[in-house]
Structure 1
Amino acid sequence: MTVHCSSTLLRAINFVCLKSAVASLGGVKHGLMKTLLLSTFALLTLSTYTYAQEIRSDIDTISILHIQLLQPSTPGTPSYLKRPANNSVAGATIAIEDANITGKFLGYQLSMQSLSAPTITEIKTQLNEPNYHNANAILLDAPSSDFQAAISVLQQHLPEAVIFNVANSDDALRTLSCGIPLVHSIPSYQMKADALAQWFRVKRIKEILALHGKHHNDMAFLSAFKQSAKKFKLELVDVKQWSDSFDLRRAAFSEIPQFTRTKTRYDAVFTADFDAQFAYALPFNTYYQVPVVGDAGLKSLGWHATHEQWGARQLQNRFTETFNRPMNEVDFAAYLSVISIATAIQQMTSEARASNTKASQSLPHTLLSDGFTVAAYRGRPLSIRPSTKQIRQPITLAHEDALVTHAPLEGFLHQIDELDTLGNINTTCAKHNN
């Protein structure tokens, strides 16, 4: 009988080794050996407890504040397509659990508080409460209409905190990061549109019909796709806005073919439909039977439940078991934000402690420094684009039942980073344009 444990100093022995020792006791027959194992186990437990006590006496607590501006549900959206109530906060919760496993032995601990309200005024009132004053990082889930106001309020109340945009893909927000520690962990619409355009080029699909709804995000996604079409030499044969308000679940078969009828034949349909008003009825129901992409059919996302490579399966499984639903891209953006915070602490802890500086005080500098990377189940290190403070990341192309591929696709190259073939790399901040 052999117990396999780390050969490093007893102080670094973790609880996995202790569990192995405990499990091995069940098969021990000789009393002397059992006594020796029990004694060893007691020493290991005492050593680990003593080490943990030493860590806790010098632990650095990083406080994270999750803020969500509640958005009313849009009439006509099918119930099965509505956004979950715990959107983003669920991903952050899983990430904190993961980060604190390592933090226990490296001398840091992450904690999270959450507040939500339908208006900026209510958020501002809640921020006056003392228990929110020590937040080192903020996860912000806010619509474009309230985003700048939310940033202003947060800068006023928590000027030292790093802010992560975990839910808004609007490219216009990527120009707000001049002088502000604002990081975008959710992919931008331009990144998503470029991923779809790369797929079109690989599949030699050129003529596209573009459909969009009335929501601000629909217009933002459409604008990004128009730029991608120009960049990758695609042709938009027509652009149409969905304006009907009836229940498509009863009329889709007759209405959608007429809506998608055009004078010029198209090879695919791009759709921008943030509120799920019509796009879900497009696949297999368009006038010409062609692929549907965007907010229905083949979707371009920061994360999808079908992604299982590079260890992602175990994250997917834990999330589903905990929250009884699949992990979506907003959940993953929040997860990525928290893991980025933890990674920054790990990369700078020794230097910070050598100068008797608390990790929380050095967090913004380390997180936004050159060379910072984070591992997050994406098959490559992720970094922050200095010009827009957008986290570079692959875009998952997937439909409801399966993963298709990850962009950037093979053959699309960039002189600095292949991930920079996705999205805008320039900003209005002249200092950071590259």
Structure 2
Amino acid sequence: MVSALTLLGVSSLNAAAQATDTSHPSKEREGGVSVQMPQSPEMVPLDIGYIIEEVEHPRPASRLDVEPENAGVAGAKMGIDENNAGGRFTGHLYSLDTETASSPEEALAALEKFQASGHNYVIVDASAPTLLKLADWAKDKNVLLFNIRATDVSLRQADCRANVMHIVPDRYMLADALAQYLVAMDWKNWLLVHGSTPADLAYAEAVKRAAGRFGGNIVDVREYKDVSGGRRDDVGVIPPAIPGKQANADKTVVSSPKYDVIVVADENQVFGPLLPYRGGGAPQIVAGTTGLTATTWSRGHEKWGATQANNNFEKAFHRLMLPIDHQAYVATRTIGEAVTRNPDNDFATVSAFIHGPDLQLAPFKGIKQQFRPWDGQFRQPILIATDKVPVSVSPQRGFPHASHPEIEVDTLGIDEPESICKM
């Protein structure tokens, strides 16, 4: 027990010290203590650009497939908020500046504006030709582009660019993810129905490639030919197997080899959503761009923190998160994580970090993710999902590969030995 005499002695010494030191008068109350508060770092603005190319698309079969006006931008803003939660400790204040373009020339003007105002990191929601135009202009400039829309395989191959990071998977990755699941379920015989647009034909080719890689068997291929000006109610019948015969509401599928799955290639959702119910064929599983799909995000995803992400997004934007939102979110979080690890924000250092093996993101899919060094493609698991819930996650087990056997996601898409990308 401390005696009253001891306490009195301490108080006397304190009083004497205060009386002696008159140059620094104490602001403490009697009996108080002083606490040295850490100073907050000076906040340095870090502006991220966002270019949206407005592209005309055919009207989808369902109005539910029309994207909201803030598609993608909302996801980027969610990432900005998370960046700022950590940026207050490193002295970085993130913001998002958006430009809309109706042509490749307007998109380039927007990029020039961003570059002139010091935007080193720019998210691009645009077609492949426009993205290439931007990348070639930005060559040798301190600008890194993040592709969140274009799934063209060529952008990761002959047309790859070192200043473009691909968040969105290419068609090969998506088709491989779906094919692995179908084969794992022993649904190996596929009827492939595709539209006539270049995008639909490209996805159909990706499906054929995936079938050859993983053991799928395409028993028949048919093309759906849309009738310009036709009534929307006429859409939905599987084209007959007779060459040259066009699908319409009165025709049904003629005799053909048995199939387990109808795989649809209809990226604009013009006819695919009606095939499961008015297709005229055997009532089998429908997969591909409709029905059971391979996607970066599902509104019903709940594992690995996804429930909280979906809830936070819905609370902030009053709608559900779409794949394009998740892709934009990953882009902004990539920038935030790289700058956090390299707080001086030297562009060359941050860019090298994003390209390298030390970047580790965990955007609600169970594993740490990064970019492939040979083509700039973001390595990520792909959800296999219906319109309501995920049913699996690819890569599936049992599909080994030689180049990076410890990285299972490299079974999706173009592996390093196959790549012709020269960055």
TM-score normalised by structure 2 residue count: 0.82
Q: Is 1:83 aligned with 2:67?
A: yes
Does the residue aligned with 2:193 lie in a helix, a strand or coil? strand
Partner of 1:276: 269
1:408 maps to amino acid: P
Q: 1:195 aligns with which of 135, 159, 177?
A: 177
Q: Per-residue deviation at 1:63?
A: 2.0
5+ residue gaps, structure 1, are: 1-35, 353-357
2:125 maps to amino acid: D
Is the 1:89–1:334 contact (alpha carbons within 8 Å) kept by the matching residues of 2? yes
Q: Per-residue deviation at 1:153?
A: 3.5
- Rounded to whole Å, the distance in 2 between the matches of 1:359 and 1:77 is 48
Does the residue aligned with 2:311 lie in a helix, a strand or coil? helix
Q: Is 1:399 aligned with 2:392?
A: no
Q: Is 1:382 aligned with 2:380?
A: no
Q: 2:202 aligns with which of 188, 195, 220?
A: 220
- Rounded to whole Å, the distance in 2 between the matches of 1:299 and 1:91 is 21
2:162 maps to amino acid: I
Question: Could you list the per-position Cα deviations for residues 219-256 of structure 1 after superposition, in whole angstroms to 9, with x for gaps in the alignment?
Answer: 22111111100001211111122112333435547947
Partner of 2:332: 338
Is the 1:344–1:363 contact (alpha carbons within 8 Å) kept by the matching residues of 2? yes
Q: Count how many residue pairs are aligned between Structure 1 and Structure 2.
A: 376
Q: Which moves more between the two structures, 326-335 or 141-150?
A: 141-150
Alpha-carbon spacing, 1:226–1:101, altered in 2? closer, same or farther (3 Å): same
**Equivalences for 1:12-411 in 2 at 5 Å?**
47=37, 51-52=39-40, 55-56=41-42, 59-75=43-59, 77-129=61-113, 133-155=117-139, 159-175=141-157, 180-245=162-227, 246-249=230-233, 252=236, 255=248, 258=251, 260-286=253-279, 287-349=281-343, 352=344, 358-411=345-398
1:208 maps to amino acid: W
Q: Which moves more between the two structures, 290-299 or 107-116?
A: 107-116
Question: Could you list the per-position Cα deviations for residues 147-178 of structure 1 after superposition, in whole angstroms to 9, with x for gaps in the alignment?
Answer: 3223224448xx21111111111111112675
2:117 maps to amino acid: H
- Greater share of helix residues, 1 or 2? 1
- Rounded to whole Å, the distance in 1 between the matches of 2:318 and 2:251 is 39
Does the residue aligned with 1:223 lie in a helix, a strand or coil? helix
Q: Per-residue deviation at 1:142?
A: 1.0
Partner of 1:417: 407
Is the 1:238–1:262 contact (alpha carbons within 8 Å) kept by the matching residues of 2? no
Partner of 1:429: 421
- Rounded to whole Å, the distance in 2 between the matches of 1:270 and 1:100 is 43
Q: Per-residue deviation at 1:337?
A: 0.9
- Rounded to whole Å, the distance in 2 between the matches of 1:151 and 1:176 is 14
Does the residue aligned with 2:55 lie in a helix, a strand or coil? coil
2:413 maps to amino acid: G
- State the structure with more CA Rg: 2
Is the 1:60–1:107 contact (alpha carbons within 8 Å) kept by the matching residues of 2? yes
Q: Which moves more between the two structures, 195-204 or 413-422?
A: 413-422
TM-score normalised by structure 1 residue count: 0.80
Q: Percent identity?
A: 26
5+ residue gaps, structure 2, are: 1-28, 238-246
Question: Could you list the per-position Cα deviations for residues 5-47 of structure 1 after superposition, in whole angstroms to 9, with x for gaps in the alignment?
Answer: xxxxxxxxxxxxxxxxxxxxxxxxxxxxxxx9xx99xx99x93
Alpha-carbon spacing, 1:402–1:76, altered in 2? closer, same or farther (3 Å): closer
Q: Per-residue deviation at 1:114?
A: 0.6
Is the 1:248–1:278 contact (alpha carbons within 8 Å) kept by the matching residues of 2? no
- Rounded to whole Å, the distance in 1 between the matches of 2:168 and 2:322 is 11
Q: Per-residue deviation at 1:280?
A: 0.5
Q: Give the root-mean-square deviation of aligned CA atoms.
A: 2.6
